[in-house]
Amino acid sequence: MRIMVIAAHPHFDKSRANQALAHELKHHADIYVRDLYEEYSGWEIDVEREQQLLTQYDRVVFQFPFYWYSCPPLLKKWFDDVLTYGWAFGPEGTALMDKEFMIATTTGGTEQSYQSGGDNGFTISELLRPIQRTLTRCNGIYLPAFVSYNVTPGTDAYLAAEAKRYVEHIQTSMRALIH
């Protein structure tokens, strides 16, 4: 299975958690990792290139820190620019038909804070629904997200273990993920 990870963190150099995840990915030659903020520092997204890359991979993983109950702004712009009517969705928009998509996100909050009735009021799955619907509207298959909780106070050992769990999760077959 060909996997592309699209990482989007505006301050990647300051994120211990996202650095740990990316570092672990480097040990897997079969996973192609891209950093949107590095590639598009001027915010001019090459739509044709992005669409071409999307068609080359079986699974696309969006890795980002959970910012104000959503993704960082450049990733939102990427969704708006790249997933176009007539290409990704609409009557003739079938380019992403049955493509596997997954979210991989990090939170500073605990898992308990992302439970119904917790500090954030909703589960992480509920909060990720707008992105989920965007991807399913584009005829993609949305797979269960990978979430690493409580990363801000996380020790190096905790982050390294989360990174190994991350790689295992994104490489797991669709059948095993959705039972």
User: DSSP string of 82-112?
Assistant: HS-BTTTBSTT--TTTT-EEEEEEE-SS-TG
> What's the structural domain count of the chain?
1
Let me know how long the chain is: 179
Residue 85 pairs in a beta bridge with 89
Output the pLDDT for position 110.
Answer: 94
Region 15-21: what's the mean pLDDT?
A: 94
Residues 14, 43: contact at Cβ < 8 Å?
no
Helix (H) or strand (E) holding 7: strand 3-7
CA distance 9 to 18: 8
CATH code, 7: 3.40.50.360
Range of the domain at 77: 3-178
Residues 116, 106: contact at Cβ < 8 Å?
no
CA distance 31 to 42: 26
pLDDT tops 90 at residue 20: yes
pLDDT in tens, 28-39: 999 999 999 999
Tokens matching residue 29: 């030659």
pLDDT in tens, 90-131: 999 999 999 999 999 999 999 999 998 899 999 999 999 999
pLDDT tops 80 at residue 179: no
